[in-house]
Amino acid sequence: MVSDKKKDIWISYDTNPYNPFSQFDDWYAWDIAFGFDICGLIAKEAPTSAENLTDMENDELIDEAIHIVLDKYEESLGLKLVFGEWK
């Protein structure tokens, strides 16, 4: 799975050794293999739509969802905010 999103923030677990920006495939595989599914957590909070919303609107919803997930699970799941650029 390769992400083409141009986001500059994402969430990762403290224990995930991969960078979601420069090593997305490895980061995602690790996340799924350990049963976390951060992308799924974000998707549950972000009512995006390719048909009804612009890319900018979808990006804003994803940004909001990232912060919601971080607020809900940061302490209990060991999440951290990661900054960078998608490669």
Per-residue CA distances from 71 to 21, 29, 50, 67, 81 (Å): 21, 24, 26, 6, 11
Domain extent for 53: 9-83
Looking at 13-17, 40-44, 56-60, 80-84, which range is the least confident one?
80-84
Is 1 among the domain residues? no
Is 51 among the domain residues? yes
Is 68 among the domain residues? yes
Query: Number of folded domains in the chain?
Result: 1
Is 56 among the domain residues? yes
pLDDT of residue 13: 86
Distance, in Å, from the CA atom of 51 to the CA atom of 68, rounded to the nearest integer, reads: 24
* Span 13-43, pLDDT tens digits: 888 999 888 899 999 999 999 999 999 999 9
